[in-house]
Amino acid sequence: MKVLVPVKRVIDYNVKVRVKADGSGVDLANVKMSMNPFDEISVEQAIRLKEAGQVDEVVVVSIGVKQSQETLRTALAMGADRAILVVAADDVHNDIEPLAVAKILKAIVDEEQPGLVLCGKQAIDNDMNATGQMLAALMGWSQATFASDLEIVGDKAKVTREVDGGLQTIEVSMPTVVTVDLRLNEPRYASLPNIMKAKKKPLDEKTPADYGVDVANRLEIVKTAEPEARKAGIMVESVDELVSKLKEAGAV
């Protein structure tokens, strides 16, 4: 079985974002970018399935600016076999929407015929939490979102999902789309020799036009603003003082 793993290049999760003063967006020029943390978990899971002999090939795909190939190289260094880059934007500030991404992924799935697509549950930039579900819809496949455990048995996948009240286990028919949650695994670091080897692994470059997909946004961004700032707080010296402040404020 082949596994397809979509990965996204996003602002590094440790970076405090800056909203541009003219309200046109978030400043991404000269900011550290990395692989979306949830996607690291899905790459790791795909490699673990390969190591367990349940998967023959791990194909990673990224859609966005040309520099996304660094993200793909990272996935190849972790252990993916081959990469597809779909260059769909020439400016890092142009975020392709989940619907367009899902349509491109559908075309790739039609071509590659994987038995499983492993996505992150959400990208930490647009915080949409939608692409995996949209791909499953377009394919007419089952979906298993927010996975914290995944077991493949024959032509079914048994998936434990992180839901509001606790955990839920479902069984889905393969092929399927699984979106991974934080607690599925601990992603590995790529070693230096593997980073060197990854440079020689195949990376195909494509465009949305190759797949006949229009990447025009359905949502026009009117403006991007800073969230309201909180007013400065005070430091108290003791628990007694804290209790009296809370009582004054009517909080307890």
State the DSSP code for 25. Answer: -
Residue owning tokens 């628990």: 239
CB of 115 to another protein, least distance (A): 14
Residue 76 or 123 having the CB closest to another protein: 123
CB of 205 to another protein, least distance (A): 26
CB of 106 to another protein, least distance (A): 9
CA 206 to chain CA centroid, Å, is 20
Residue 199 or 245 having the CB closest to another protein: 245
Residue owning tokens 């673990």: 48
CB of 83 to another protein, least distance (A): 25
Q: Are 80 and 98 in contact (CB under 8 A)?
A: no
Q: Are 116 and 146 in contact (CB under 8 A)?
A: no
- SS3 of residue 122 by DSSP: coil
Strand partners, 120: 180
Residue 205 or 241 having the CB closest to another protein: 241
Residue 7 or 80 having the CB closest to another protein: 7
Name the token pair of 79.
Answer: 């252990």
- Of the candidates 138, 123, 137, 132, the residue with the CA atom closest to the CA atom of residue 161: 132
Residue 115 or 197 having the CB closest to another protein: 115
How far apart, in whole angstroms, are the C-alpha atoms of residue 37 and residue 28? 18
Residue 146 or 211 having the CB closest to another protein: 146
CB of 47 to another protein, least distance (A): 21
User: What string of DSSP letters covers 20-87?
Assistant: -TTSS-B--TT--EEE-HHHHHHHHHHHHHHHTTS-SEEEEEEEESTTHHHHHHHHHHHT--EEEEEE
CB of 202 to another protein, least distance (A): 30
